Amino acid sequence: MIKRQVAIIGAGVSGLYAAWLLQKAGIDYVVLESRNRVGGRVLSSAAEGGDLGATWFWPAIQPMLSGLLAELGLEVFSHQEMGDMLFERSMDASSRHPGFVSSPAPARVRGGMSKFTDALLSRLEPERIVMDIQVKQIEQCNGTLTIYGHSPDKPPMTLRAGHILLALPPMLAAHIAFTPALPDPLLQAWRNTGTWMAPHAKYVAHYSRDFWKAKGLSGEARSSVGPMVEIHDVSEPDGVHSLFGFIGLPYNARQSVGETALREACREQLKRLFGPEALHPHAEFFKDWAADPFTATSRDLILQAGHSVPPAGANDGPWQHLLTGIASEWSTAFPGYLAGAIDAAAEGVQRLSQER
């Protein structure tokens, strides 16, 4: 049976960054990922670059993340908000108002945020990243952890580790069967922590030109009609021209309507707001995070993402110093944000190094 010093569960931003930190420190590790891709809640729309998951960061207040992106050689640019905003209160008309510039200013990664996770992945040893393995059970005996992973297409995996970094949302971590059981207050705190992005669905439309700019519009819109309640211009400089929106319908209603009808309704809404050309994107994408079993649980749909930060591990008992949560929700600085994933991963690896 293979044994690693550290097993990281999850290959999103926090998991990949933690792996890189461990690698640079010369600490043995393995990353186990349930999906057939890395990135977690970072997901781009094919080669078009539109983000279906995490989209923005804020350089002025998130210097650690900004520095990491620069270290990885990634190009970033300021998110554009110039032009008028539209407010849609009925199907018949929208009102136009002077736009605003956010402060602090948001920024994005050129080519989509998946460039970030791809850059982290490229710096890791490929054989240490194991895909399509879902961890369902972890046993602890005399300080040794035995991890049981399952896959629909591969034989079951069993490996041992001296420490586990949980790079998945607390809500999902609470679904793992721990033996002996984790302290009940710790599990309850994890179960009561809403997962960032879990209730949401996004629609992205790509166009050959940013026709809304010719009308003096920013591409920003808010709607009480829907189906999108919040719309943004997510075009790239000298690149793809895109609009995206958050779907306002709750998950059960989205499931009832169906993706095909929702796409059509989104196109019709963009036509109402920005004109006939918006009805014909050359590509469109839809992602319902609530339907993603590796992001959301049924409990996520009744909890709000805003929360107090839960404990990252057990303070005493048999699991003390053996288990650390490092997903964004465990960050005390930026819970739920990309910067939070970096913050929590760095703190988790530092704590692990001090305890060795």
Are the C-beta atoms of residues 338 and 57 closer than 8 Å to each other? yes
| DSSP of 86-148 | EEESSSS-EEEE-----SSPPEEETT-THHHHHHHHHTS-GGGEE-S-EEEEEEEETTEEEEE
Residue 204: the pLDDT is 96
Mean pLDDT of 192-208: 94
> Does residue 70 lie within any of the structural domains?
no
> Does residue 260 lie within any of the structural domains?
yes
Mean pLDDT of 49-65: 93
User: Using DSSP, how many helices (H) and how many strands (E) does the chain show?
Assistant: 8, 17
> Does residue 137 lie within any of the structural domains?
yes
> Does residue 60 lie within any of the structural domains?
no
pLDDT band, residue 354 (cuts 50/70/90): confident
Q: Is there a single domain that holds both residue 286 and residue 336? A: no
Q: Is there a single domain that holds both residue 186 and residue 139? A: yes
Q: Is there a single domain that holds both residue 101 and residue 222? A: yes
**Chain mean position to CA 169:** 10
Q: Is there a single domain that holds both residue 284 and residue 221? A: yes
Residue 2: the pLDDT is 64
Half-sphere exposure of 99 (CA within 13 A, CB side): 20
Of the candidates 294, 320, 347, which is a domain's last residue?
294
Of 6-15, 41-50, 288-297, which gets the smallest average pLDDT? 41-50
pLDDT greater than 70 at residue 1: no
Q: Is there a single domain that holds both residue 37 and residue 124? A: yes
Tell me the percentage of the chain whose pLDDT exceeds 70.
97
> Does residue 209 lie within any of the structural domains?
yes
pLDDT greater than 60 at residue 63: yes
> Does residue 328 lie within any of the structural domains?
yes
Of the candidates 255, 271, 294, which is a domain's last residue?
294
DSSP tag of 12: B
Of the candidates 294, 326, 344, which is a domain's last residue?
294
**CATH number of the domain residue 211 falls in:** 3.90.660.10
Structural element, H or E, at residue 201 = strand 201-207
pLDDT greater than 90 at residue 26: yes
pLDDT in tens, 100-112: 777 788 999 999 9
| DSSP of 313-325 | S-SSSTTTTTEEE
Residue 356: the pLDDT is 66
Q: Is there a single domain that holds both residue 275 and residue 188? A: no
Q: Is there a single domain that holds both residue 121 and residue 270? A: no
Q: Is there a single domain that holds both residue 119 and residue 257? A: no
Q: How far apart are CA 147 and CA 321, in angstroms?
A: 16
**Chain mean position to CA 182:** 26
Q: Is there a single domain that holds both residue 16 and residue 132? A: yes
pLDDT band, residue 85 (cuts 50/70/90): very high
**Chain mean position to CA 251:** 18
> Does residue 300 lie within any of the structural domains?
no
| DSSP of 76-99 | EEEPP--SEEEEESSSS-EEEE--
Q: How far apart are CA 111 and CA 98, in angstroms?
A: 29
Residue 5: the pLDDT is 93
Structural element, H or E, at residue 170 = helix 170-173
Residue 101: the pLDDT is 77
Q: Is there a single domain that holds both residue 21 and residue 160? A: yes
Q: Is there a single domain that holds both residue 239 and residue 289? A: yes
**CATH number of the domain residue 190 falls in:** 3.50.50.60
Mean pLDDT of 10-30: 97
The amino acid at 90: S
Are the C-beta atoms of residues 170 and 189 closer than 8 Å to each other? yes
Domain of residue 140: give its range.
1-42+113-196+307-356
> Does residue 69 lie within any of the structural domains?
no
Beta bridge partners of 141: 144
> Hunting for tokens 């046993």 — which residue is that?
139
Q: Is there a single domain that holds both residue 152 and residue 255? A: no
Length of the chain as a residue count: 356
State the pTM of this model: 0.95
Percent helix, percent strand, percent coil in the chain, to nearest 5: 30, 25, 40
Domain count, the chain: 2
